[in-house]
Amino acid sequence: MKAKRKETIAAYLFLMPNLLGFMIFTSLPVVFSLVLSFFNWDILSPPKFVGLGNFVRLLGFTFNGKNFIPNDPHFWYYAFNTVFLMLVIPLEVFGALIVATAMNQKIKGITFYRTIFYLPTVCSGVAIAIMWKGLLNPDFGLLNGILIKLGNLLHLDLHGPAWFTSPVWARIAMMMIGLWLIIGGNNMLLFLAALQGIPRDLYEAAEIDGAGGLQKFWKITWPMISPTTFFIAIMSIIGGFQGGFMLAYILTGGGPGGATTTFEYYIFNNLYTFQKAGYAAAIAWVLFLLIFIFTRFSWKHGGKLVQYH
């Protein structure tokens, strides 16, 4: 009994530094931000209670006799942008799987390839964003230059777009950079580990039965790695809902005309630029609920697609 009490006290002493910081900078802020979402607050003057006002403004519609008009049309546009940018996720996931499959062919120089592929993940920061600003410059950028060269070669009049001045091309640029950043990163390493974990004899048995390469992939590899694929897909979508701030801040400032502003960017603008901490908290909580509902739904229904072993 005494030893047990001693262990409990020791445990809390071990936990204390982390737990204290965790309470002040993580747990309390979660509660604080929920409370904050019912207030108008510029952080300087005393907060003003507005009840559900922030949420009504954010999500509500007003009927003007003819049409329903959103109270905050920006929010819906930025929601559209966020989802648009998430369309690249399937490409990111399958791209990572293809790279991992190629890496798993017992090739030489795997460390070399892995280092190069992981480089963008490590560097992902402002410097990389500035680099891409140059690469996509219509006057001298590498990408448009390559397109022109390719056009000359094929006798076609190819020329790249002015990436950051058109809403659609600006979004495509963001997606392209996102794909470049992530394709050889953590997801690829997770896939590679999953592929290496598949027992060899499964393939050997299939070969004796005369299975071809594609058959082996769909009948063995795909089901065996399905838990990893499921995990990566969900984490990518959760990340997608919260992404797109840093790149857009450097490359487009959220433009043109707000075309690359995402949820995250809108929260930043409200918090920092417009000094509306309460409204920012309301958006953050809507985002949280969206992610929560999505995660619950996919665990419940997506779990059927996964074969655990």
Partner 1 sequence: MKKVIELTAEKSKSIRKKKEFAGKSLAYILLSLIGISMILPFLWMISTSLKEAQAVFEQVKPWWRNWIPAKIVLSNYVRAWHAVPFGRFYLNSVIVGLCVTFGVVFTSSLAAYAFARLNFPGRDKLFFAYIATMMIPGSVVLIPQFAIIRIAGWVDTYRALIVPATFTAFGTFLLRQFFMTLPKDLEDAAKIDGCGFFGTYLKIILPLSKPALATLTTFTFIGNWNSFMWPLLVTNRTELRTLPIGLEYFQSQYTTDWSLLMAGSVMALIPVIIVFIFNQRFFVEGVKLQGIKG
Supply the minimum distance, in Å, between the C-beta of residue 73 and partner 1.
21
HEC string for 117-165: HHHHHHHCCHHHHHHHHHHCCCCCCHHHHHHHHHHHHHCCCCCCCCHHH
270 CB neighbour count, 10 Å cutoff: 19
Picking from 277, 281, 278, 300, the residue whose alpha carbon sits closest to that of residue 289 is 281
The DSSP H or E segment spanning 199 is none
Closer of 52 and 69 to partner 1 (Cβ): 52
Q: Which is nearer to partner 1, 66 or 157 (CB)?
A: 157
Place of tokens 């070669």: 153
Shortest Cβ distance from residue 185 to partner 1 (Å)?
A: 9
Residue whose CB is less far from partner 1, 43 or 305: 43
Give the pair of three-digit tokens for residue 5: 């009490």
Q: Residue 43 to residues 5, 36, 46, 87, 274: CA-CA distances in angstroms?
A: 44, 10, 7, 36, 11
Q: Please give the structure tokens belonging to residue 76.
A: 């819906």
Cα distance between residue 253 and residue 273, in whole Å: 13
Shortest distance in whole angstroms from residue 121 CB to partner 1? 8
Closest approach of partner 1 to the CB of residue 237, in Å: 13
Q: Which is nearer to partner 1, 228 or 261 (CB)?
A: 228
φ, ψ of residue 120 to 5 degrees: the values are: -60, -35
Shortest Å distance, C-beta 80 to partner 1: 19
Backbone angles phi, psi at 39, to 5 degrees: -125, 155
Least Cβ distance, residue 172 to partner 1 (angstroms): 16
Nearer to partner 1, 68 or 112 (CB): 112
